[in-house]
Amino acid sequence: MNPLHLISRLVVVLLTVFLCAAPAAARQMADSTLPEGIAAGDVTQTSVILWAHSTALGALTLEIATDPAFSTLLFTQTLIVTDPALPVKTLFPDLTPGTAYVYRVRDAAGTQAEGRFRTPAAPGTRVPLRFGVTGDWRGELSPYPSIANVPVRELDFFVQHGDTVYADFPSPALGQMAFTVEDFHLKYAESLGARYGLNTWAALRASTAIFSMIDDHEVRNDFAGGAPIASDPRFSGDGQTLINDSALFEAGLQVFQAYNPLADETYGETGDPRTASERKLYRYRTWGDTAAIFLLDARSFRDAAIPLDLGGGFSADALKAYIQKLYTPGRTMLGAAQLDLLKADLLTAQAAGVLWKFILVPEPVQNLGPLNAADRYEGYAAERADLLRFIVQNHLTNVVFVAADIHGTLVNNLTYADSPDAPQQPTGTWEISTESAAFDAPFGPTVTSIAVRLGLVTTEQKQVYDSLPAGFKDVSLLPILNAQITAFNYDMMGLEDSDVDATLQRGLWIATQTFGWTEFEIDATGSLQVTTYGIPAYTQAEMTADPAGVSSRVPAIVQQFSVQPR
């Protein structure tokens, strides 16, 4: 037998044993009174939010200990479930920094589930750190085997990086888009629930602390929360002026917050109607002096996108005019209040000696060219340049942007220009976008199909591309991507010729054919190892036809590189 085949079969057997014997949450059945398992999240050095969704009315008990036998209970709370459709969550304060905890939930029906989390290390300490990120999963593609290996990686935390539900896509749970609170509940229950006897999200969320973020599909594709309601016919006025106060937005965000272990916070009187007294999803957390994360809400406060309209042609003058519009002063993706928080917290982290700074923004910051730029940070070029210039001028080191949304992994260093005609300036920063947990089709097939429509690739070339193995597809796609971005004086994909000290160890600087997630590991020396895990992408039809076969796909390393801190 081929040794690779033998290893592959062994991995399948080991994963099967793990799913059957270790995390019961992975085998959570749909008829359980804890159908989406349990979760711990929004963790700080001294607190955690515990979350559960029980369909059994009555008392639900949550307990925290440090020993897996729960021989000594450190904290206990009892909540009352009054609505079988509504999850419950509560804050546990007074925890100890840098401590591994276990917790247990028991509902009124006697159903019990256990989980674990670790509080971040206290400031002034330098400890190894390992965390994961993915985004974008659709309910009809569950149960998401692409994330099945996350629990065995023993992460310090995991980020659900936007598009945590596709409320505007029909699916088995709801054959239409979500409009009401009840509709959104159905979509989240599907997204996080069991299917074919497997629940990978329940296993993942029970295995580590969770941070949850929104992008657009929690409400509607490409919406702009800071834009006037009248600018988008999908949103009704309801006596309000901005989309982030519309009934549809409020329904979507209400249920997002209900289904995630997230503290319900609001901005104060910011002086800006788009952020004043609105939900505050921005988070800043540190893990000792090893790393800090900055979680951005890039959707609730943004101005309306500027669509690409070239008047029927791709002339140089038309493209230049469009890029000039993207530099319109004052346009914002983040909103002034959130941008100010980000800048202040970056300065605080740098002054405190925090080594790595991870800015998690759902849409890519790297420039990929005018096509579809309107929805990315590229479409808010003035604010993008302002943020990157701030990083350079304040000598902020080891800043990494982590994105999702585009359903594929692209790695590149970041540059900025002060105007469309100005030269690109290096920043010493870089970005990686993570794969989707399950969105059909991934980045690679989507981009090549668009390239055919635009006449950039012939039908014959596309047929050859489709016949290639996944790795070779990325080899053939890379020149297409580089041709698009270098035409606008942006650097080619990758970090090899940049001012970032990085070494590619496996795969390419792109991974665009698979479903998966990305792991970030910082060792005792401060070196960062980035690993992308993936499985072959699949369709809804393939999952329906062979659920056992598709669900047993084992995540494997498709890309890996290391970066040395400055």
Q: What is the pTM of this model?
A: 0.93
The string of pLDDT tens digits covering residues 483-529 is 989 999 999 999 999 999 999 999 999 999 999 999 999 999 999 99
For residues 440, 445, 450, 455, the Cα torsion angle rounded to the nearest 10 degrees is -160
Which residue intervals of 421-469 are DSSP H helices?
443-453, 459-467
Judge whether residue 7 has pLDDT over 50: no
Model pLDDT, residue 456: 77
Supply 315's token pair.
């002339």
Asked if CATH classification 3.60.21.70 holds for the domain at 3-30+120-563, the reply, yes or no, is yes
The structural domains of the chain, with segments of one domain joined by +, span 3-30+120-563
> Cα angle at 75 between 69 and 78, to 5 degrees?
105
Query: What DSSP designation does 435 have?
Result: P
Query: What DSSP designation does 246 have?
Result: S
* pLDDT category of residue 452 using cuts at 50, 70 and 90: confident
Give the number of other Cβ atoms within 10 Å of residue 441's Cβ. 15
Which bin fits 50, alpha (ψ -120 to 50), beta or left (φ > 0)? Answer: beta
The string of pLDDT tens digits covering residues 38-63 is 999 999 999 999 999 999 999 999 99
* pLDDT category of residue 309 using cuts at 50, 70 and 90: confident
Model pLDDT, residue 27: 52
